[in-house]
Amino acid sequence: MALHATLTNSSLFGRDIKVVWAGRAQHCTALQEGRMGMQSVALACGALALCLALTTATNPGFVVRMTQAGLDYAHQQGISILEKELAQLRLPDISGETRVLHVGKVRYEFSRLRLRDFHLPHSRITPVSNMGLQVSISNAFAELDGDWRVKFLFIRDHGSFNLKVENIYMKIVLRLGSDTTGKPTISTSDCSARISKVRVLFSGKLGWLYNLFHSVIESKLRKSLERKVCDNVAKSVHNELQSYIRTLPVTARIDDKIGIDYSLVAPPRATAQSLDADLKGEFYSLGHRSPVPFSPLPLAFPSDHERMVYFGASSYFFNTAGIAYHKAGALVFEITEAMIPKESGFSLDTSAFSAFIPQLEEMYPNMPMKFRLSTPTAPFLTIGPGGISFQPIVDAQAYAILPNSSLAPLFLLSLTGNVSAVINVRSSRIVGSLDVGRIRLSLKDSAVGHFQLRTMQSLMNILTSNALLPRLNARLDEGFPLPLLDRIQLSNILVRFHQNFLLLGADVRFQPRG
């Protein structure tokens, strides 16, 4: 029994709730002029919660859109494969009997029906809203050979024949969906084939006899071919196309700690001009996956059609990366003397820092130092027309390295600053780099007494720009994989920023095996 809920006009405590059960409606008002008791209010609140749960849609964190240009390219690849498949059609033997004027009853048999070629010169693909994709084929033609046998009275004979089929029209409707794992599915929901012209040429001594009842033979051959064409289309969609689209990755492993969930949150959606796939688009920890404390915002996807395919990566997508890496303990970095470029003229030791903290030289004279950087909270970025920006908070714990290699905590700084990102696509991966503006310091804790932070500003800028930033950018340069089907290569990349999401456009090229 189906339960449907909708919200209607506002009342004192919210909105009225209309519940439709098995096609019959009962209209319940959450509160009528304040006369309902607490029990009724509780029931109304419970019904409201149920309505909200039923009507809340899952926004995607990542969207893939294939434009008409992309569909046309995919269609070209598919038609060439379908031609080869149809050219291998094997028609069943045909036998029967008929009466021929002045001859009588004639028994016939057609066998070893072999298609020589099958051509689909004119076809197009169109997305159909609430349905999927429709492929229309016109003016197709084919040619096949076979053997014939005939018997009438006491006469038997056999020979060969040639069949030319012209003006073949086909309509194929493909239904798109998703399975329980979030992988896409595709099936043939409708297929029709119509052949308007068939010509049979017989050879052999009694070939003239077949020409007397060729209309009967042509009709049977036409019906057999129309049926087998659609059977073969359905088989090709199930065996070839279905297998191929399932190469779209549901998950992508980034490293030994983090993965990306690219599963479909809804079946692919066809519109008048494109095909959209809504993906979860969420980074997660491989060790322990936990719910994200916020939801993706709706994406106002633009109607661009300059490229074959577009990818919409939301701020949710990137922010779940920060959460996943933070929870996995991957946002902890150490800065040591070995990481400081020699040309900087700076040594990471207590002697260098004693210029800012005089008491340091007395407590830990001429000892090497190191910093351990970590994020107290996951970084949170924003995306707007101007690009990507965020203001991460980083704790920088300074240590003196004692002669026995143990660590003596010195002071704990809090670093903040404006960070911007440059994004691109390389080898089907999202790559990027960060640029850090002026860093602001605050002292959170100190084991060496109070000291002035202002004089340490330039020193911390050197440490972050020469030691931390190169490590982060090296990781970002490795990139994160885009959700792509097998053997798809991207070119002519376009990068644009919109409110709450990054738009990547590209043309595609299919790389055949071998």
CA dihedral 454, 459, 465, 471 (to 10 degrees): -120
With beta carbons less than 8 A apart as the criterion, state whether 499 and 385 touch.
yes
CATH of residue 223's domain is: 3.15.10.10
Domain presence at residue 345: yes
- Read off φ and ψ for residue 293, nearest 5 degrees: -75, 10
CATH of residue 397's domain is: 3.15.20.10
Q: What is the pLDDT of residue 166?
A: 93
Domain presence at residue 355: yes
Domain match, 44 and 105 both: no
Dist CA 408 CA 234 (whole Å) = 72
179 closest CA partner among 245, 135, 112: 245
List CB contacts of 216: < 8 A, sequence separation 6 or more.
98
Domain match, 111 and 23 both: no
Q: What is the pLDDT of residue 209?
A: 63
Number of domains present in the structure of the chain: 3
Return the H-helix or E-strand segment holding 140.
Answer: strand 132-152
Token pair for residue 21?
């059960």
Q: What is the pLDDT of residue 428?
A: 94
Domain match, 118 and 203 both: yes
- Read off φ and ψ for residue 235, nearest 5 degrees: -65, -45
Domain presence at residue 273: no
- Read off φ and ψ for residue 84, nearest 5 degrees: -65, -40
Dist CA 51 CA 4 (whole Å) = 8
Domain presence at residue 220: yes
With beta carbons less than 8 A apart as the criterion, state whether 255 and 165 touch.
no
DSSP state of 246: T
Among 194, 224, 245, which residue terminates a domain?
245
433 closest CA partner among 378, 482, 391, 470: 470
Domain match, 454 and 402 both: yes
Domain match, 38 and 76 both: no
Domain match, 177 and 142 both: yes
Domain match, 41 and 96 both: no
Domain match, 157 and 228 both: yes
Dist CA 38 CA 252 (whole Å) = 51
Domain presence at residue 303: no
- Read off φ and ψ for residue 48, nearest 5 degrees: -65, -45
How far from the centroid of its chain's Cα atoms is residue 326's Cα? 25
Domain presence at residue 310: no
Kindly report, residue by residue over 346-388, the tens digit of the pLDDT.
889 999 999 889 999 899 999 999 999 999 999 999 999 999 9
With beta carbons less than 8 A apart as the criterion, state whether 366 and 346 touch.
no
Among 226, 245, 264, which residue terminates a domain?
245
Among 245, 276, 301, which residue terminates a domain?
245
Going residue by residue through the chain (514 aa), what tens digit of pLDDT does each one get? Answer: 343 434 333 333 333 333 333 333 344 343 344 444 444 444 444 444 444 433 345 899 999 999 999 999 999 999 998 999 899 888 888 888 877 766 678 888 889 988 888 999 999 999 998 889 999 999 999 999 999 888 877 778 888 888 899 999 999 999 999 999 999 999 999 999 999 988 888 776 666 666 666 777 788 888 989 999 999 999 999 999 999 999 999 999 999 999 999 999 999 999 988 999 999 999 999 988 999 999 999 999 898 889 999 999 999 999 999 999 999 999 999 999 998 888 877 889 999 999 889 999 899 999 999 999 999 999 999 999 999 999 999 999 999 999 999 999 999 999 999 999 999 999 999 999 999 988 999 999 999 998 888 878 888 888 888 889 999 999 999 999 999 999 999 999 999 999 999 999 999 999 888 6
Write down the pTM of the prediction.
0.82
Domain match, 45 and 106 both: no
Domain match, 40 and 112 both: no
Kindly report, residue by residue over 381-417, the tens digit of the pLDDT.
999 999 999 999 999 999 999 999 999 999 999 999 9
Task: Encode burial over 196-215: b for 16+ CB neighbours within 10 A, e otherwise.
Answer: eebebebebebbebbeebbe
**Domain interval for residue 185:** 64-245
Domain match, 443 and 466 both: yes
Dist CA 410 CA 400 (whole Å) = 7
Q: Please, what is the Cα angle at 474 between 468 and 479, to 5 degrees? A: 130
Side chain identity at residue 113, one-letter code: L
CA dihedral 78, 248, 178, 299 (to 10 degrees): -110
Domain presence at residue 322: no
Domain match, 27 and 46 both: yes
Domain presence at residue 127: yes
- For CA atoms 347, 350, 355, 361, the dihedral sign is negative
